Structure 1
Amino acid sequence: MSANQTDPMIGRLIDARYQVRSRIARGGMATVYLASDLRLERPVAVKIMHGHLADDENFKERFIQEARSAARLAHPNVVNVYDQGQDDESAYIVMEYLPGITLRELLHDHKVLTPEQATDILEAVLAGLAAAHRSGIVHRDLKPENVLLADDGRIKIGDFGLARAASANTATGAALLGTIAYLSPELVTRGIADTRSDIYALGIMLYEMLTGEQPYKGDQPMQIAYQHANDTVPMPSAVNPRVPAELDELVLWATARDPDQRPRDARAMLDHLFELQRGGVEPGATAINRTMVLPPAMAPVGPSGRDTAGQGPTGDTQILSGARHRTGPVLPAGSSNADALSRKATARRKRGVVWLVILLVLALGAGGTAWWFSTGPGAHASVPSISDASVANATSVLESRGFTVAKTRARTYDAVIPSGKVTGTKPRGGAVVGKGSTVTLIVSQGPRSLPLPDVVGSSESAAKSKLSSSFTLQQSNHRFDAAAKGTVLAISGKNSAGATVDLGSASTYREKRPITLTVSLGPVPDVSGKAFSDAIATLSEVGLKGVETSSEYSDSVSQGLVIRQGMAGDGPVVEGATVNLVVSKGPVPIEVPNVSGKTLRSAQTELEGLGLIASYPTCTNILCAVIDWKSTLKVSSMEPGAGTTAFKGDTVKLSYNQ
């Protein structure tokens, strides 16, 4: 199972803006992911600090310092920082995404770089580092892993995680920051760093680019640290004879053990590199009849501790220009002037022939070398980076650069690039290969169709866990439903035309396509029987708005209480929806009728018909025992009186004469 499939960050939406797509790299402090900025619709690199470091304030501060340091720099050779924040417990930095490789990967593939390639990379790194030094920032962790080579040819410095202000030169605790292979002597011995410490690390990188190896080796880090503190970096030409003297001297200048003997900062070293180029000495060329004068601080120190400026690999002084003082030949005794002149002329002719042969051999060698590496079998070229292009356009670009395009094509699934378009090449873009090499196009088959788990009815967290590794989860929709809160009610996606489709009955779905879950907010609260104010508060707590739409008389619900509720409009009930409330006005009022003069039975029937209770005493007259006195005797008075207001169930007392 791949790292992307097991990484819980894949598919996560950070800060409601950055959709994590895949993992790019993992380091000691953080992991870098490829993500999509949904707001600006562009790819970005998101660096997320490891969760176990979240409680360590020192690590957290160093992580945030990286964002602040890099954000202060605006330079073409420094990776741009767009944003910084914290999502849940994860601190993150949003950076410019550069498709390509690191210098470490380039060295791994090609071991040794040509002087021209090394100088190009050196110039770009120095330019970005000069901007940092000018802003008062020391990188403190320069190494090939932090030099990015973009597919479009851009070269940038990244990872300012150990950067600090140039004036803050005291190391933290007893630990030495940075990678041991590139630590300057003063960092090893005293734990301090300034701009010249970055220059030292850059000198080690230049040595590694020219030779394919680091100058110091050892089984333990302390062995390498000891060599940094006590030994002198050898000249690259001792390992690779093709390295020109100018680059030898540049390495020795940058890696001098004494910081005062190095360039004061990246700008000084870059200016000198420009001077070498303006002086007509291209990296890899042979210096003939020209004196190269180094700045006083550039005088390299040899292994013995002696100043070796102006000396060749053997330590013998080399005078490259200017007249050499010589005395005339001493004539043998007895020789005439004519004989001496004849011998001198013969010697000059012999020397002339020898020099002519030497020059012809050198010219033929230089011409042959130039042919070999420019158009001959030794010529190399960089494979252009091609992505999201048609097969015809990709073929045209490659053939215009002198490459042969293979008739057969590799195919791969791609969640982003449409089917039929080129996703890349073999060898990959940026690889340096022989001119005329065959390049195979890798063509997208579009996203894969993957099994779609049945998540309707499960919890939202369980559904996301099943879907996030294969598909792109969008912000969930929520609505009120009889199902328990957090239950997935529906799942939808997009078809090839971009229209929304229901995936409830689908068994497969395209990889990385968007998916939206509809999740229950639980049932709408029942507020019947509550006081109106309490009902409003209850609905507001869940994001609903209660409104009194009418009031009714009710014999069963007291005045001011909610009789019933209903939703305004049709469709799903979502947060912010309105709930219509019917409020009780209490029982229906009854006007007591005038039943005076009516028989008791008639009065009782009329009052009970209105919901009132008729009350009167039993007749005690002896005649009442033999007659229907309720139908005979008439009401003489009533309480309450006629015309008063009563309510259902109230009692009206009737009086009569016996």
Structure 2
Amino acid sequence: MLDGRYRIDARIAVGGMATVYRAVDTRLDRVLALKVMHPSLAVDASFVERFIREAKSVARLAHPNVVQVFDQGNDGSYVYLAMEYVAGCTLRDVLRERGALQPRAALDILEPVLAALGAAHRAGFVHRDMKPENVLIGDDGRVKVADFGLVRAVDTVTNTTGTVLGTVSYLAPEQIENGTADPRVDVYACGVMLYEMLTGDKPHDGDSPAVILYKHLHEDVPPPSAAVPGLAYELDEMVASATARAPEIRPHDAVALLAQVRDGRGRLTAEQLDVVPPQALTADHDNADDRTSVIPRALTTLRPLPVNEDEEGSQAATDRTSRFESPPPPPPRRRSGPRRGPMAIVVAVLLVLGVGAGVWYINSGQFTEVPPLLAKTQAQAEDRLRDAGLDLGKVEHAYSDTVDRGTVISSDPKAGTRIRGNDSVSLTISDGPRNVRVPALAGQKLDEARSLLKDDGLEPGMVTREFSEDVPKGSVISARPADGTKVRAGTAVALVVSKGSPIDIPDVTGADLADARSELEEAGLKVKVAAERVNSSEFDKGQIAQQSPNPGGRAAEGDTVTLTVSKGPEMIEVPDVVGDSVEDATRTLEGAGFQVEEDRGLLGLFGDEVKSQSVEGGQTAPKGSTITIEIR
């Protein structure tokens, strides 16, 4: 039992961050999934704080295709999330058992996934770990996206340092190269998943993760029709658009990709949608399931335990109850002792009359129950109260995101409460969701813009940065939804913030450190010198060998350029090759890292033995320099 409320029934899965259990909420009698953070991570206060903060953010994504977060808490060293439990399987299970899917089934899965991600993207969140393991398919055919525990609100810093989150087969090139994560990395992962659903295989494979990462960076995802002849060109287009290596070519978020997918699907014929790929592992069926249901069901699914039942089922309990027999009535007892007098009889009669009068008083209309009034209009609630013999009391109004405008949110006393007849019942009527206007944010500093949003009941959403000649650095260029738009309270507003005027990064390689620092600072950039120096055959000791970002790029005023100083060429020992044949001497010197030049003169035209070398054996010379051998 966790936190005195959640009864653990079974372990579902173990991940790098948490273990997921099937549990029962004993207060509400419902089955749910409990994600418990590993205790080794729970000791990191900053990690726990981020875990909780992101859980609260995901809880706001009220979308039918997102696994919902119900509760968050901790019990001693256990930090947990209580989430919706989806009885069924994952897309990985489907692919493992079915192989390649028909285009109709693949698109039936992809569309709700994109709808869920689109809601997250428009709220300012990026999943960053989309893969078939995180796509849940319920026994009822519903598709849901899970494991938003890795989501990160895209804020002032949009890259991760140290490690790249995500599974290598679904990582976008920009995630691999510099760790950046915006909605387009989810678009890329969905394109890879569509390819895998259509062909049964991942687009890039290799003997190691490094090989797969290299292919993501340098090779395009092939068209699925190359692996499955007969697939429509529109499907190739969907995959190519979503998996473009350059992020600016991809759809900007899942909503845009969903529009492309629906447009492409509309151009496909029934025959093109029902193509059975040769990679399919279950070909012996009539495709009726694919035509009539959202997705092909996995062959093996887990059946959730019903609430408050054991694994033997409820029938056994019923049988045990039916075999229980009532005990026989006890034999009548013979009277003993003196007979009771007339006074005792009078008292008994009066007692019976008193009890009967009390029962009559309670049940004869003096008291009544408050009828159910929730979700009724005010007029309907008044009619119900009047029929129950009750009066309408105080009527209050309140905003509600879940109860329709003009209907009852609550009553006081609550439904089912016994009160005296003709008493009054107070009602709280819904005014619907609270709507607010997006404040004027253009020109505001980022912190001020966030404060304005929170003051107006809105949430700061995704922050992207762009160069601007007109808006000062750190100030808001625009917002989405735009200023003045009327939206529901709690809506996330995405902000575009100025990076200031762009600066062309000068090339300072080859310059002395002092000169390089001066040139960069005059351009408005900050300078950081790398702690480690590097050997360089191109640049002398003390000169700048490398700079990051690379010269020719653009940066904002105040950005930092890291400089790496040269240690000069690497000095290595020269092998002694005097007396060796020309071939052996050349092989030895080149193997040590030198270039070789032959000096034969007139006497050595036909010779094959090294007489001398320009740098004697045992001495040192710069790696890559030329050693001249004299031949006799």
Is the shorter-chain TM-score for this pair beyond 0.5, marking a shared fold? no
TM-score, normalised to structure 1, is 0.43
Structure number with greater CO (CA < 8 Å, separation at least 6) is: 2
TM-score, normalised to structure 2, is 0.45
Larger radius of gyration: 1
